[in-house]
Structure 1
Amino acid sequence: MAATITAVGGCYDWHATDASSRIRTCCIALPQSPASGNLAGLLQSDDILGILHYFLPRNSPEPDIGVYSITAKIANSKDQLVVGSAWNRDEFHFELHCLSLLPLEHQKLAIPPIINLSGPAVNINGRTFDMDLMPYISTAKKHARFRCYFPEEGRFFQSAPNMNANAMVCVTGTLIGEALQGEGSAEPARLSVRILEMDYLASSSTTSALSTAVTPSRSR
């Protein structure tokens, strides 16, 4: 199971995990992609805030405040966020284990975060389903919980695929924000993903596929 994200975000408040560590941690703000279609109960705001951990290569300069292109593994276990004593854990919605960090010009770019998820689909309900993954983030395996939805536009405007419970899927989508929870709900927090593309993995058992191979008939 995997959960990775590619995005442009603003990084600030960089600091070392401890004096002897090469791990650097910062706050990161990701611009949310424009909301459209079936929003599946989304929380709307300008940015979604998280924590990013980055291993500083030897002889590399210290990272500074600015805008970066990043590729990272993602989790959203709020009770497990490694945020440090200076920050309030409740302010952040996700945690990133950075794989690639490239500085960009000092301006905010409205590029939606692109996320890739692989694993079982659960809690299937019409155009929405959940994914519960366990990537390794910072110091341990952590929960990465998502609510994915098929928008009522694009290739899915007519209908969403029929899916079996626990079908193994690979989802590419845009990170929208944090899904709203019902009042008094004990359900864990989830990040909302607007699906751009979905494929079934080879090990899944499904009732229908997104595309069906067509065998041309022979003329006689």
Structure 2
Amino acid sequence: MTTTSPRGREAQPSAIAAPRQTRSQQGLVRMLQAGRELIEASGNLDDLSINDIVERADTSIGAFYRRFDNKDSFFEVVQDAAMQEGLAHIRETVERDPAWRSNDAGTLADAVITFYVLTFRRNRGLYHASLLRASQRKASWDAVKSTNHEVLAMIVPRLVSALAQSRGIKADGEATQALEFEVRATLQMILGMLVNSVLNDPGPLSLSSRQLRSWLQIRVRRCLGLPDG
């Protein structure tokens, strides 16, 4: 993605001029890829220089500034591209993965945790950099939150429906609202743990731990009154 319309931020003029030549377009793609890799590796935008980006992308400082006002605007484009890729991935997964078409609440709950754990592992450095920028009163974490709202819109109704079936509840009115609160509160707790793991890694709940996914799956099942599986 090569426009700056980051989620959770007010619309701004594009930080990237439309490339006029294929060569210029290729340079832009290389810069975005280089930035994504460097941010993921460092987890801190302050540790990253524009020289690092252009050297890795085999381009120039001039090419960078023809596209971006500064490093912050570059980060926002890289972040927004990652969020768009994540949404495309979950949409494809929901459509193709049999677990997401299941109406078994335990199977769906496990699939949700698998998705979130893999997403946090894939974006560990980007999320860390976003959280650090948010602590400086920059709205970088808003983009992640906005993207997650879209993910929850896909996840929650499926899990509520499956949970209602497992409990023999007719999911309408107050019953639906109660189940939705239960699901959303459980997922908020899990997401809080994953965010904490990003900021405090390594720890007992390290993102790289083999036990992380199964440990979270068991907790979610228990919170939702499902068997451990």
Give the TM-score, by structure 2 length.
Answer: 0.29
Structure with higher strand content: 1
Which one has a bigger Cα radius of gyration? 2
Give the TM-score, by structure 1 length.
Answer: 0.30
